[in-house]
Chain A
Amino acid sequence: MGALRRVDKNCACVESIIQSNGGGKDSLISILQDVQAEYHYLPEKALRRVAKNLGLPLVQVYGVATFFKAFSLKPRGKHLVHVCLGTACHVRRAPAVLAEVERHLGVAKGETTPNFEFTLETVNCLGTCALGPIVMVDEKYYGQMNVGKVKKMLAGYKKFSRPKRDEKIKVSA
């Protein structure tokens, strides 16, 4: 269970996150954002704790967590790679960039590498079309991407290792 090693067993840090957000029901979204920043996703245990501490029904917290695309209930990698496939990026060969990123990480879009370093996702416009095709890794934008630049971009992130050619990739949900 690669993902769980990062989750302290009972998600104890949830308490302090709630305190630092004022402890009110109305700060649910910012609490969830902070929890996600801590674990890279929203573990079930953490959601249960949030619900209990705020005195909300669990389903309400769960409803918010499933409503926003920014929240994930599945374990995600340390680094989030967003490849833009919007119209402007698409016509500038973003699909080829995506294919190259997929090849380098060894996972398809929407998936996470087995070492939980990278999660690959696509978006439909990052609002910087002039720089397209664009790839965003965590908070950083990489503009005017092409197939050749992908390797260098990913190499900037620690623990990046290309999967061996015939290594079978299994992504746990």
Chain B
Amino acid sequence: MVELTIDGIPTRVPEGTTVVEAARDLGIVIPTLCHHPGLSPYGACRVCLVEVAKGKRSSLEASCTLPAAEGQVIFTNSARVKATRKVIIELLLASCPSSKTLQDLAANFGVNRVRFQIKDKNCILCGLCVRYCKEQMQSGGIGFVGRGTGRQVATAFSVTPEECRNCGGCEWICPVCERACTADRLVNGLCGGCQNVFPVETCPVCVNCSQSVGAAGHKVYY
């Protein structure tokens, strides 16, 4: 067992637990995209980043690949985390504005503009589909092809591979394919359809357990 502190709450978790899991056990929600409990950690999207205090300094790390360690002090919602996370969401949106999952994230974290040039690739290279196919279906029909800006998820020689079991899992798990944003018109990469402009009502001791606690914060109901 290792002991660590997350957002001021001390906790004990078995060795090998990742920080995101430890936080979820406490009811602290860290947004994730490329993380999936049934798949190996990958650390591609960086949405889950947290601040790790190290003496007088601190560093930003992806909590889904960060193993919990003795004496670790983690902040999941510090000003630095919030600001950086916004930039990351903007970057992801710039490469894939058509994902509802991303638009929801943007709404929840108060991203109301995208400062980067939009180049819609319909994929954020999160690798969920590739890992699902390989690890859950033992198939390996799809994979990453090419590199750099040309990197994409594809099949070999663009033909349906014989290994494919037609399970449809790759589409199901994709944050873009089945969860496409259906807003008629995207303004500068944002749909704005589900922007949370009002504070959400929560219980008195709010630990942000609800993803819907957005940028406008929350007010307490009694």
Contact = CB atoms under 8 A, between A and B. Distances in A.
Contacts of B141: 57, 59
A66 interface: yes
Contact of A57 (B146, B157, B163): B163
B155 A59 contact: yes
A171 interface: no
Interface string A34-54: 000000000010010000000
B145 interface: yes
Interface residues on B, range: 10 to 19
Nearest to B150: A66
B145 A63 contact: yes
A41 to B, nearest CB: 14
B142 interface: yes
A60 B144 CA distance: 8
Contacts of A56: 140
Nearest to A68: B147
B203 to A, nearest CB: 48
28 contacts: A47-B156, A56-B140, A57-B134, A57-B139, A57-B141, A57-B161, A57-B163, A58-B156, A58-B163, A59-B140, A59-B141, A59-B142, A59-B143, A59-B145, A59-B154, A59-B155, A59-B156, A59-B161, A60-B143, A62-B143, A62-B145, A63-B143, A63-B144, A63-B145, A66-B145, A66-B147, A67-B146, A67-B147
Given A58-B161, A58-B163, A67-B146, 7 more contacts: A47-B156, A57-B143, A59-B156, A59-B161, A60-B140, A62-B145, A63-B143
